[in-house]
Amino acid sequence: MSRYFTEDHEWIDVDGDTGTVGISDYAQGQLGDIVFVEVPDAGRSLSKGDEAAVVESVKAASDVYSPVSGTVLEGNPALVDEPALVNSDPEGEGWFFKLTLSDVSELDALMDETAYAAFVAKL
């Protein structure tokens, strides 16, 4: 499985033609305590950069963008009852949605973990 990151602090784990998307540990730290998450419905078609989900914290509300184009397979149902999963495990159980990738070449424009760590270090 390969993990990629965007400059908007989303991550995507890719396994074959399926991607799991969430926000990075850096992003959840900037947001603070997460109090509400809205995930996309299964079957929704997304283009790279589309607003896919919403996350609200005690500080602010923020959109989560799709790092690639594809069709949503499922939103993370656990986040409805336990949005704080995004704080406690942002790059694991706190994932937002899974999708089928429609164009794997879009991954080439994303950062790997090393490049993302260097990007965040400059912020």
Q: Which amino acid makes up residue 107? A: L
Total domains present in the chain: 1
**Other residues' Cβ atoms within 10 Å of the Cβ of residue 41:** 9
pTM: 0.97
Residues paired with 51 in a beta bridge? 65
CA neighbours within 13 Å on the CB side: how many for 99? 29
Instruction: Compute the average pLDDT of residues 104-122.
Output: 97
Percent of the residues in the chain that have a pLDDT greater than 90, as a whole number: 98
Residue-number span of the structural domain to which 57 is assigned:
2-121
pLDDT for 9 equals 98
Predicted confidence at residue 1, as pLDDT, reads: 79
Residue 88: partners with Cβ closer than 8 Å, 6 or more residues away: 94
CATH code, domain carrying 67: 2.40.50.100
Q: Beta partners for 92?
A: none
34-89 pLDDT, tens per residue?
A: 999 999 999 999 999 999 999 999 999 999 999 999 999 999 999 999 999 999 99
Q: Flag whether pLDDT at 102 surpasses 90.
A: yes
